[in-house]
Structure 1
Amino acid sequence: MKTSKLFSTITLTLAIFLSVNANAQKFVKMDKSTMDRAYYPADAAKRTFAKSDDAKMKLEPQIRVTYSRPAKKGREIFGKLLKFGNAWRVGANESTEILFINDVTFGGKKIKAGRYSIIIIPSETEWTLKLNTDLDGWGNYGYDPSKDIVSVSAPITKTDKEIENLSIALYEASKNTVHLKIGWDTSIAEFPISL
């Protein structure tokens, strides 16, 4: 009798355990292209660690770019993986987004504070960057050119050192002018933003 009761208890416990685990939420597999952020000023995300209020104020974020960083992995990127003349989401996975905390001037046009997606159309000699009002997309699949608010072209420069993962940086080029610098493979382009 005791063995039968013990067996029933073990069987019931095992059935509950398997049922709970079968219905448990599973984690999504990790993306191959990790998500990253670029800030202006560069240490804005660390402002809470600043020792004085004055230092914190200097680190208040003004621009933030959120993007995924695909790897080159030996592939031919521009002209092959990314066809010249075709729209590119500037990364992988979700559309790359830029956040302006305050109004800025970009490509000679006043841009209101807010979030915008970034699309680039590469060619052999330049990249044309478009700010678009369509947000929270995946890749280029939902890209609608009618929602572009500005288009800016910049020449590409070539680097001898290969950039394995897509990289974005924001830095002060001169007083009140920040450059959005984008590089991958051996190509780099910079787009000025006036604060």
Structure 2
Amino acid sequence: MDHKILQTVRELIDEVGYPDLTVDQVAARAGVGKAAIYRRYASKAEMAFVATMHGQEPPPVADTGSLYGDLLALVRTFHVRMAAPAARHLAPALMSELAVNPELDARFQDTFLATEQADFAEIIERAVARGELAGSVDPAIAHLLLLGSLAAALYIINLPVDDATVTDLAAAAAAGITALADRRHSDPGRTAEPH
């Protein structure tokens, strides 16, 4: 049933666009009740987000043997999802809904963002174990450096993002994560920049 709902959402977004998408349309075409949809998704925005950006099971985090390589593999995977036309139309609507719906925001933080940050934690742990990083770095900061930059480029600044840009983002994030680890390792009591 989940697959049918998400496939229907993708089809309808392609046909009518996100603004004109309704839960009623999805339920009718997928042959399910609206209650079944609302048991799975708190809102139209969450349902569409899952269908367009997190609908497929993500591949395991690549272990390329380097921090930069792991980050590049991850950002390339996310770029494909985030740059898709449906995702580019949906992201602003989802951001607006998250800003006014604390329950949806909490659910988004606890599911999608928590999963993404767990991927960053795994990448960082491997880099520390390989000796590439002097110590651990907050996965939320690493997430912000890489995927936050990608999201800003795609959804706020509206930059054309190609593989060269993605490669540069991975290099910048790797350098930033390394610098943060070095700073924290050399001064473990330091938690924030002085104001």
User: Normalized against structure 2, the TM-score is what?
Assistant: 0.28
Which structure: greater helix fraction?
A: 2
**Larger Rg, first or second structure (1 or 2):** 1
- Greater relative contact order structure (CA < 8 Å, 6+ sep): 2
Which structure: greater strand fraction?
A: 1
